[in-house]
């Protein structure tokens, strides 16, 4: 396994951090863990922080996010903020596409460049 997942829960916000190197076969495992952690806490909001050493995410990963984020939002009736550290421009563009597509599917998902802004949006 080339990635790590940690989490903390405070003020009804679940903060999940994924760090390390994420390869395509790992993405499904990551989502199983995120869903399992989320169901265990039943949060009102999730802050998904990505600190990954990767040049860009794949289109497969984008479509997986588009498929899974709205379902997670509906199941938990929550909003999800995505915050990435050191995101390359190309990856940021792909994540903006994910944000738009998931919001079109009714999910309350938003991409942030600053963690403080993500926390503020989640607590609204």
The three-state DSSP-derived secondary structure of the chain is CCEEEEEEEECCEEEEEEEECCCCCHHHHHHHHHHHHHHHHCCCEEEEEEEECCCCCCHHHHHHHHHHHHHHHHHHCCEEEEEECCCCHHHHHHHHHHHHHHHHCCCCEEEECCHHHHHHHHHC
Give tens-digit pLDDT for 26-66: 666 777 888 899 988 889 999 999 876 655 677 887 888 89
Number of domains composing the chain:
1
Domain ranges, residue 19: 3-123
Tens digit of pLDDT for each residue in 84-111? 877 778 878 888 999 999 999 999 999 9
Residue 27: give its domain's CATH number: 3.30.750.24
């Amino acid at each position: 396994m080339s990635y790590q997942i940690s989490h903390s829960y405070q003020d009804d916000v679940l903060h999940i951090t994924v760090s390390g190197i994420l390869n395509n076969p790992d993405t499904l495992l990551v989502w199983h863990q995120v869903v399992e952690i989320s169901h265990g806490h039943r949060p009102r909001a999730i802050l998904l922080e990505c600190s990954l050493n990767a040049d860009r995410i794949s289109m497969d990963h984008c479509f997986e996010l588009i498929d899974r984020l709205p379902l997670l939002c509906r199941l938990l009736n929550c909003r999800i903020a995505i915050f990435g550290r050191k995101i390359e421009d190309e990856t940021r563009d792909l994540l903006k596409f994910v944000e738009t597509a998931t919001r079109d599917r009714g999910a309350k998902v938003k991409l942030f460049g600053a963690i403080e802004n993500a926390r503020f949006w989640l607590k609204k």
